[in-house]
Amino acid sequence: MAGFRHHDIAPVDIAMIPHPSVTVLFDLSEHGVRYDVLGRAVTGNAIIGLHAGALRITSAGAGDVLQIRVSPVIAAAILRDTDVIGGTVTPLPELWGSCAAVLTERLHATPSWDDRFAIAAEFLRSRVPRGFGVAPEIAYAWDQTVRTRGLLRIETLAAETGWTRQRLWSRFRTHIGVSPKRASELIRFDNAAHLLAAGRSPADAAVEAGYADQSHLHRRTKAITDMTPAVVARAPWLAIDDIAWPTI
C-alpha cells in the first residue's frame, strides 16, 4: 500500500504506467479523481485491471489517494471476478456496492496513513472466502513468471507445472483474467520501464529486459502505453516508485 498527497491546488493530469498488479485506488480527495482509458471515464474509487493500458489520471486539485497493489493471484481471492482483474478500469461500487462508500468515508475520516493502511488491509482480508485459493499450478506459474521477469518460455512453464501448454493457457486465463503471454509482457515491460526511469538508455533497457532491440522495446511500449520509452522514463509515478514501494 502507498499513500499519495497532492498539495497543489492546480489541476492534476498524469499518466499511470501499466503494472503487473491489480491496483485498487481509494479517492480521498475533495474534488474527485477521474480515470480516462480507451475513451471511458471513471470517477472516484476504482480498480485498475491488467488491461488498463494507456491510462490518464486527472483531478481538480489537492487531495489524498490510497493506492493498493495486489498480485493477480491474491486479487482472484479478494475480487473473485476475472473480468475485473483482466479488465481496464472498474468503479469500486460496481463490485462492492455500498461497502465501498462506507470504507471510503472511514478512510477519509482517519488522518493517519498507517491507520488507513490497517483499515484497508482489514477490509481486504474480510473479502477472502475461507478456504479460497487459485490452483497451486497457477500460483507457481505466476511466481515463476515474476521471478524470471517475464522471460520464461510458456512451454517451459507448462512443463514445470505438469500441464500441457493449452491447459496452462486456459486455466491461467480462467483464474487470473489474462493469458500467460499478457502476464509475461506486463512483467517484462515493468522491468524495462523501471530501467528507463533509473536513467538507462532505451538500447540498454531493451537488452536487459529481454527485448530483441531498441526498436522492439519502442514498438511494445507504444502498444502498451501509447507513449514512447523517452516519455515513460519521465513518468512521475515511476520516479517515486522506490519511495512509495520500498524493497524490503
Looking at residue 17, what DSSP letter applies? P
**pLDDT at 9 exceeding the cut of 80:** no
Superfamily the domain 136-244 falls into: Homeodomain-like (1.10.10.60)
pLDDT, tens digit (0-9, with 9 covering 90-100), for 152-198: 999 999 999 999 999 999 999 999 999 999 999 999 999 999 999 99
Architecture of the domain delimited by 2-126: Sandwich (2.60)
Q: Fold identical between 2-126 and 136-244?
A: no
Hey, where are the domains in the chain? 2-126, 136-244
User: How far apart (Å, rounded) are the C-alpha atoms in residues 15 and 228?
Assistant: 12
User: How far apart (Å, rounded) are the C-alpha atoms in residues 35 and 173?
Assistant: 25
User: How far apart (Å, rounded) are the C-alpha atoms in residues 42 and 244?
Assistant: 24
pLDDT at position 39, please?
Answer: 64
β-partners of residue 90 are 47
Greater confidence (218 vs 133) lies with 218
* End-to-end Cα spacing for the chain: 13
Is 73 in contact with 165 (CB distance < 8 Å)?
no
